[in-house]
Chain A
Amino acid sequence: MINQEKWIASLPIKNTRFSNIKNQLDHDRWINTIPKKNVHSSMNKYFLITILFVCGLLFVSAVKNETRILQKEINNLETSINAIKYNLDQTIIDNEVITSPENISLLAKEYLNIYLVSYKRSQIKQIKEEVKKSNEINKTKKEKINKEKMKNLPANIKLKVAKRIEEKKTEIRKLQALYSNPKLIPAEIKTQVANQIEEKKTELRNIYRSPKNVITLEKVGKWSVVQVVKVFLGMPIIPGR
């Protein structure tokens, strides 16, 4: 026989905290679970698209208007340029007609009551000789002035200048001889140049690494003095302005 007690005991114990009021069907709660209409987001979409569309329309019309204005302006400029060109052409033609040899000789006949005689070959020769003479006179004048200047210089200065010129000449000659064939340049000079390049490189590197260190008090002082001098002289502080 079935032990009722046993089966009854297997039944779950009654929840004493269960409240009927609490567990009553809440419509509102259920209704809230129903997915809401997506009214808000679709409105946003429409709004955005309309704004975009209107903006686009405005933009297109603005662009179109702008192009029309541009076209008009270009057209006007073209017309005015062509009008100027046309007038220039007309003026050139007028000038050519007025200054044509035929017209000039006609006008000369009409208005100049003098008999025009052609230049003779001897006269042209004379002109040539005169030009030559005047050139020669100018040359000799310049030479004389230079000679007088040289004469007025004291003997010491003359000697010094002559010495300097000689020194420079010999230097140039040496350099020319040296650089005419780079392979023959001595190794010492090459290393010197290489060292100089290296020094410059390291300087540049330092400037990039710590630019603040480059600005020293001395440099700032110098720069400010230069700027003050510039202001006094009326020179622009920033070059090119």
Chain B
Amino acid sequence: MENKKKSFYFEDYAEPELTNNNKFNIVKVSLNRVAFLSFIFFSLLLIFSVKIIYLSLASEKSFYSNNIKKDFVKKRRDIVDRHGSVLATNVILYDVGVRPKLLKEKEKKNLLIKLSLLFPELDLNKIRNKLDKKDFFSIGKRLTPKIKDQFWLMGNKAFVFDPSPSRIYPQKNLFSHVLGQTDDANEGISGVEKFFDKNLNNEDKINLPLSLTLDSNLQHLIRRELVNAEADFHNIGSGAILMNVENGEILSLVSLPDYDLNQRVSISDNIYTNKITLGVYELGSVFKTFTIAAGLENKVINSNTIFKNLKNNLTCDKYTINEHDKLPKNLSAEQILIRSSNIGAVRIAQKVGVEKYRDFLNSLELFDTINFDLEEIGTPLPFKWGKCKLATSSYGHGITTTPLQLARAYAILGNGGYKIKPSILKTKTKSLKKKEQIISNKTSNIINSMLRKIVSLDEGTANFADIKGYDVGGKTGTALKYSSKEKLNTFVALFPANRPKYVLLVMLDEPKPAPNFVYEFLRSEKFPNGYKHKGETRNTSGWNTVVVAGKIIEKIGPILAINNLETSINF
């Protein structure tokens, strides 16, 4: 009994121990599973927590941009004028393609019918051929969202829409030579678009437009007068630049012919070159002002210095220098400039001497390549100085420069002799006092009064620019082009002449005499009641470029005067 009891006792005691061990193993296994599941759960929790944190911290444009129209556009800064008018901006245009493989024969016919109804301008025969033969073809490029929607609403599965960023220019032709163009990748290929390409693509400043110093209203008025001039003088091209003489800010830069920037036409013809910055020309008598200034600056003449026995022509090597008109034999330095005497200018240059004259022109940087805000910059043709070169260059022949450099040189003469850098990028204006003075105030003042007399006196060559109230001064230049022996007439005006604030250069390329044009002479001593003249056959700057410049000043003068009135600067 005792044994049995013992055995019972031990068996009974041992059995649950065994069973307990098994159970423990089962629990162990299930615990592992739970641990695994909780690991997954915590991992998921971590992932979603990270996602939530990411969503709350991420910048707004870093996700879900694919569905949004504008975010995949390669951004490019807008360009605006000095008043904030948009000159260039970005839009999304669409290229629409067709995949004929996705269409059955019936569907192809339906598509053609729909296309003929919606887009009658499309060439259906071409499309039909392409539908039969090609795997893919383009049906329209650079389409506006409205036209793209018309295609989309046709509900055809074969259409493929490819959006692409594109640059548009609301002012069309107005700033074509300044702004330039962009390529299909939206990168600048000419003008401001190329020169400031990096700046325009700067993502940090993407919402800030690039401000130019140009004024749309002034640009339009100047361009309109130049276009009108083409009708009157039948010139093949023209150019004009308006610059602030104190800070070099360019308010207007026009070159004709121009082109609509939105058409994206390849401009390869020379006629489309930017005549103001890229064109390098022999500009004629406008250089006489520098000859007189060189004489004054080097103190070899004063305005009353008389040059006696001036001949009608001079010979230097094989070159013969003639006077353009019959002029008195004795002329003062001032009269030489007013009457634009070639021989007188030669005499003054000879008095100054080659080295001093060359140094003076070099100080005005007329023969270097100008540092400007455009890619299209011309380099004046190099030449060797000599006695004959001195003689011809004194009246602006045999030496070349760009109209932009000429305008800057006149601005320096007008502003008291301070060096300026022409610019089309709007920045904080700097005071003239801090700039380098290369010509004395005295010379500047004398030149300004002489230029005024060229316009105001009857014997001057630029009477048609004498617009009442604006105190215009300026110098004419008539030159022959090397290539065609046609004329290139220039007029550079500084106004108001007592303390110039603006320089305006107008240039007509190959103008013709205008016998049908009615010239209006204002009331003067010569014509007390005014005078209208028709049938003029002369083709010098005074008979065409000056007229155009006068009209321009008449139009832009009030705007400039009012702008200055608003800023309480005397004009």
Q: Are A and B part of the same complex?
A: yes
Q: Is B305 part of the contact surface with A, judged by Cβ < 8 Å?
A: no
The answer, among A70, A90, A128, for a CB contact under 8 Å with B55, is: A70
Q: Is B198 part of the contact surface with A, judged by Cβ < 8 Å?
A: no
- Contacts A49-B38, A71-B55, A118-B555 given; indicate if A78 touches B60 (C-beta within 8 A): yes
Of chain A, the residue at the smallest CB distance from B216 is A101
Q: Is A138 part of the contact surface with B, judged by Cβ < 8 Å?
A: no
Q: Is A122 part of the contact surface with B, judged by Cβ < 8 Å?
A: yes
Q: Is B224 part of the contact surface with A, judged by Cβ < 8 Å?
A: yes
- Contacts A71-B55, A79-B68, A82-B71 given; indicate if A96 touches B45 (C-beta within 8 A): no
Within 8 A of B (CB), among A56-75: 56-57, 59-60, 63-64, 67, 70-71, 74-75
Q: Are B23 and A64 in contact (CB under 8 A)?
A: no
Within 8 A of A (CB), among B11-25: 12-13, 16, 19-20, 23
Q: Are B69 and A60 in contact (CB under 8 A)?
A: no
Cα distance, A16 to B135, chains bound together (Å): 119
Q: Are B69 and A82 in contact (CB under 8 A)?
A: yes
CB-CB under 8 A from A30, the residues of chain B are 9
Q: Is B171 part of the contact surface with A, judged by Cβ < 8 Å?
A: yes
Of chain B, the residue at the smallest CB distance from A50 is B34
Q: Are B20 and A37 in contact (CB under 8 A)?
A: yes
CB-CB under 8 A from B219, the residues of chain A are 101
Q: Are A100 and B470 in contact (CB under 8 A)?
A: no
Query: 1/0 per position for A87-129, CB-CB distance to B under 8 A?
Result: 0011011001101111001000000000000111110110110
Within 8 A of A (CB), among B216-235: 216-217, 219-221, 224
The answer, among B27, B30, B170, for a CB contact under 8 Å with A93, is: B170
Q: Is A53 part of the contact surface with B, judged by Cβ < 8 Å?
A: yes
CB-CB under 8 A from A34, the residues of chain B are 12-13, 16
Q: Are B20 and A56 in contact (CB under 8 A)?
A: no
Of chain A, the residue at the smallest CB distance from B37 is A53
Within 8 A of A (CB), among B228-286: none
Query: 1/0 per position for A22-63, CB-CB distance to B under 8 A?
Result: 000100001100110100001001100100110011011001
Question: Which A positions have Cβ atoms within 8 angstroms of B?
Answer: 25, 30-31, 34-35, 37, 42, 45-46, 49, 52-53, 56-57, 59-60, 63-64, 67, 70-71, 74-75, 78-79, 82-83, 85-86, 89-90, 92-93, 96-97, 99-102, 105, 118-122, 124-125, 127-128
Can you identify 28 A-B contacts, CB atoms within 8 angstroms?
A: A37-B20, A45-B31, A49-B38, A53-B34, A53-B41, A56-B42, A60-B41, A60-B44, A63-B45, A67-B52, A74-B60, A74-B64, A78-B64, A79-B68, A82-B68, A86-B69, A99-B85, A100-B174, A100-B220, A101-B216, A101-B220, A102-B220, A105-B220, A118-B555, A119-B558, A122-B468, A124-B565, A125-B469
